[in-house]
Amino acid sequence: MTTEAARSLAITLHHGWWGDGLALIAGLLLPFAFAPYGFFPLAVLAPALLFYSWEGCDSRRAGFRGWLFGLAMFGGGVFWIRVSFTFSAVDPLVAGLLMAGFVAVMALYPALLGLLLGCLSSNLSRPLRLLMLWPAAWVLMEWLRGYLFSGFSWLQLGYSQIDAPLSGWAPLVGIFGLGWMMAFTAGVLLLCFGRRLPLFPLLLVIFLWGSGAGLQHVSWTDVSGPALPVALIQGNIPQEQKWLPEMRAPILERYVGASRANSEARLIIWPETALPGFAHRYTDLLAGLRTEMRARNTEVLLGLPVWQREGKRNLNAATMLGDGTDYYYKRHLVPFGEFLPMANLLRPILRRLGAPLPDFSPGPDQPPLLSMVGTLAAVLICYEVAFARDVLPALPEAAFLVNISNDAWFGNSIGPHQHLEMARMRALESGRYLLRATNTGISAVVSPAGKVLARSPQFEFHVLRASLTPMAGATPYVRMGNTPILLAALCLLLLAAWRRLRGVREG
């Protein structure tokens, strides 16, 4: 292809429906960078294609293309949310409408990003746009998406790198730092197709990826105690049967029987809401189980719902049956699943659609620490493991992480695979072992390097036996958190805004 033909093709792709289609294709590609597919180079290619579609656009067109990108990305990457509606007895048509509404709203994040960058980029050179402003703005967009309305952190770029060379940087810069590196690499990729090879940025990319591979062999934390035998019980209770009165006895028999059969373990973990009813109905059962297991030098952690009569509140909880009986109450609730954001506006709409109204309350805002097997552990219930900010308050005090979940809500979809991928990133960021016990899978034991040491099959009753090593110390990310990355990104965004404002005044 001649230079003139290549330039003509580029102009065609930038304008009109060709550019719109390119943004749509980029969004369709990105979910395949994450579990269970794991084609991590797509996490560079997809943002590069989106950036390319934004070049030469006015702000309105860039916003529209960002929205198309978001529709494709979320429509293809988190469609499993619709499955959870079916377990709530929602009409299939209504479930489809709710899912479409969710995707359309989440697509507003890349749409607003495109709109903003279209406004700020006009007086910046191409290298400054692609290497500084756009990667920094991408990071801030992902952070904002992880905070507003409780946050939704699925499909953040950094998670795609859990099995890739860049993962070595996670204990230093966390999930947002990885996302910045991915967006920066995408910008360099575009510059490589320009008239002049960007030598220094290209060398920086090579350094980041190469050193990331080397950092994978660095241990940031230290062993603080002997290895302990553990057992994770995956009950495999179908979601549609879980709360039926006639299933209470079989469910209890399954979990209690499996605990007795594995009492050689120092720690036994049941999944989220393993008990089929509120805690006050099982006072005698819990007391008897605690006494029996402690006689065998075994402690049990289990998930259960709690009704607080004094506050008339439902709480999603985990209780530790060890030397004493202690509770952790879930703080970060699932929007629409456990609580309703903008309740005054949305409650009448959901009632009209016949959708169930969530009625859980968040627990007290305190570190998710429980004492178990002679040390402290961070307990994360379901959704909480998807957010580094929910883990950081427990570190470095916690010697290991425990995640209990009920991914039966996602059915046989890609959702549980993505959830495990995010849990693995928390282990890597913190330099801690992570024990993950779920109802229908995927239960797993994850090393401080983010590697899966053992995992259960899905949709089978299974007891996952493994050993756990307590860890001490703190990774650089645990010590600094997200603040340095976010401040640096914000400074670059403000600098671009200042240059834009100055350009308008001078013009």
Radius of gyration of the chain (CA): 24
What's phi and psi for 267, nearest 5 deg?
Answer: -135, 130
Q: Which of 382, 384, 421, 429 is catalytic?
A: 382
How many Cα atoms occupy the beta-carbon half-sphere of 243 within 13 Å? 9
Q: 128 phi and psi, to 5 degrees?
A: -65, -40
Residue 327: how many CB atoms within 10 A of its CB?
A: 15
C-alpha 152/C-alpha 154 separation (Å) is 6
From 272, 338, 421, 429, the catalytic residue: 272
Q: How far apart are CA 493 and CA 441, in angstroms?
A: 41
Candidate list 142, 242, 330, 421, residue with the active-site label: 330
What distance in Å separates the CA atoms of residue 272 and residue 423, rounded to the nearest whole number?
15
d(CA 67, CA 279): 45
Measured CA to CA, the distance from residue 9 to residue 12 in angstroms comes to 5
Q: Verify whether residue 253 is a known catalytic residue.
A: no
Kind of pairing, strands 462-468 and 228-234? antiparallel
Tell me whether residue 491 is one of the annotated catalytic residues.
Answer: no
For residue 125, what are the contacts with CB-CB under 8 A and spacing of at least 6?
A: none
Does the active-site annotation cover 242? no
**Residue at token pair 């479930």:** 95
Q: CB within 8 A of 283, min separation 6: which ones?
A: none
**Residues noted as catalytic:** 272, 330, 382
